Amino acid sequence: MNRNRTTGLAIVAALSAALLGGCEAPSLGQLFSGEKTQASTEVSGQKPQQEEETNVVKKKQPSLEETIQMVDGVPTVTNPAELTVVVNKKRALPADYIPSDLVEPNVPFPFDEKVEKRMMRAEAAGALEKLFALAKEQGIELYAVSGYRSYRTQKSLFDTYVQTQGAEHAAAYSAVPGKSEHQTGLAMDVSGADAQTRLEESFASTPEGQWLAANCAKAGFIIRYVQGKEDITGYAYEPWHLRYVGTDIAEEIMSKGITLEDYFQQAETAQKQ
């Protein structure tokens, strides 16, 4: 019992700094069980069919109210596999949701372990490869720090917090299972070579952080948790947390400086007019 508690505390201590936004997951030795699959670079290529689908999605964007239902008392999204799914503290993913198309993007990672956090959904993984290639062309070196995180991993992390630090501390410092965007397989935390600014707000002022904010939309990513929008997103500023939404929506969100929640609100308002 005592030994477990000590181990738990050690894990918490090691991770507490990085956990404010529920971004970083521990390497709990949970190896991903699927075969290693490289994301096809074709995924990010221009496919007429995909563009068509994107346009359809844009025109028929369901409102946030239409994509939520109560499941065991928890407001849960009805569209977990959509590239436009909105997950936040008020909108959980189903506990049993595991993306069906997780692959490992062919990009640099700052660790060697074959853990699940290397993975992303296929389209997002292809887009990440495209983004990293673009960065490299321009002399910017990026690393993929943390991508997919299963409900199970998030739950064991959260439970460790509750057991060692109490429920209140857990709620403040770790995402509740199901409410981490990393479970969608569409998010990736990114850093430069400098470990000092990894998953730190100071990353925003590094050349890599600035490049990322200016260019991520070109590959279909947004900075999901932006400065000054904490009341809307529910999270502090996280200049390292990329979320894939596709280029059309990403360009609109990043050029307007809005959040994913704002985007849906504005789309809904526009449809009513």
Q: Give 148 or 264: the residue with its C-beta nearer to Zn ion.
A: 148
Query: Which of the ranges 15-23, 62-70, 77-85, 255-263 carries the binding residues for Zn ion, by CB under 5 A?
Result: 15-23
According to DSSP, residue 136 is labeled: H
Nearest to 126 by CA among 149, 143, 98, 106: 106
Determine, following the binding rule CB under 5 A, whether residue 179 of this chain makes contact with Zn ion. Answer: no
- Closest to Zn ion by CB, 61 or 179: 179
Q: Report, in Å, the least distance between residue 68 CB and Zn ion.
A: 22
Shorter beta-carbon distance to Zn ion: residue 189 or 200: 189
Question: Least distance in Å: CB of 1 to Zn ion?
Answer: 33
Which positions ≥6 away from 93 have C-beta within 8 Å? 76, 77, 80, 85, 87, 151, 178, 179, 183, 184
Closest CA to 213 of 245, 184, 178, 240: 240
97 backbone dihedrals φ, ψ, rounded to 5°: -75, 120
Among 117, 121, 198, 241, binds Zn ion (CB under 5 A): 241
Residue 23 as a binder of Zn ion (CB under 5 A): the answer is yes
Helices 260-272 and 247-256, axial angle in degrees (round to 10)? 100
- Of 203 and 267, nearer to Zn ion (C-beta) is 203
Is 117 a binding residue for Zn ion by CB under 5 A? The answer is: no
- Residue with the two structure tokens 């569409």: 186
Q: Say how many C-beta atoms besides its own lie within 10 A of residue 44's C-beta.
A: 23
- Torsion sign, CA atoms 145, 41, 100, 239: positive
Q: How far is the CB of 13 from Zn ion (least distance, A)?
A: 20
Name the segment binding Zn ion (CB under 5 A); options: 9-17, 20-28, 68-76, 206-214. Answer: 20-28
Q: Please, are residues 93 and 151 in contact by the beta-carbon 8 Å criterion?
A: yes
| Binding residue count for Zn ion, defined by CB under 5 A | 3
Output 61 or 189, the one with its CB closest to Zn ion: 189
Q: How far is the CB of 23 from Zn ion (least distance, A)?
A: 3
Q: Provide, rounded to whole angstroms, the least separation between the CB of residue 50 and Zn ion.
A: 25
**Other CB atoms closer than 10 Å to residue 66's CB: what's the count?**
11
Greatest C-alpha distance within the chain: 62
Q: Which of 116, 189, 200, 208 binds Zn ion (CB under 5 A)?
A: 189
Cβ distance to Zn ion smaller for residue 121 or 241: 241
Structure tokens at 4: 């477990």
Name the segment binding Zn ion (CB under 5 A); options: 41-49, 229-237, 239-247, 249-257: 239-247
Element (H, E) at 242: strand 238-244
Question: Residue 151 CA to chain centroid, in angstroms?
Answer: 13
Q: Which range binds Zn ion by CB under 5 A, 16-24, 40-48, 147-155, 258-266?
A: 16-24
The sign of the torsion formed by the CA atoms of 118, 139, 244, 53 equals negative
Residue nearest to Zn ion (CB): 23
Provide the binding-site residues for Zn ion, judged by CB under 5 A: 23, 189, 241
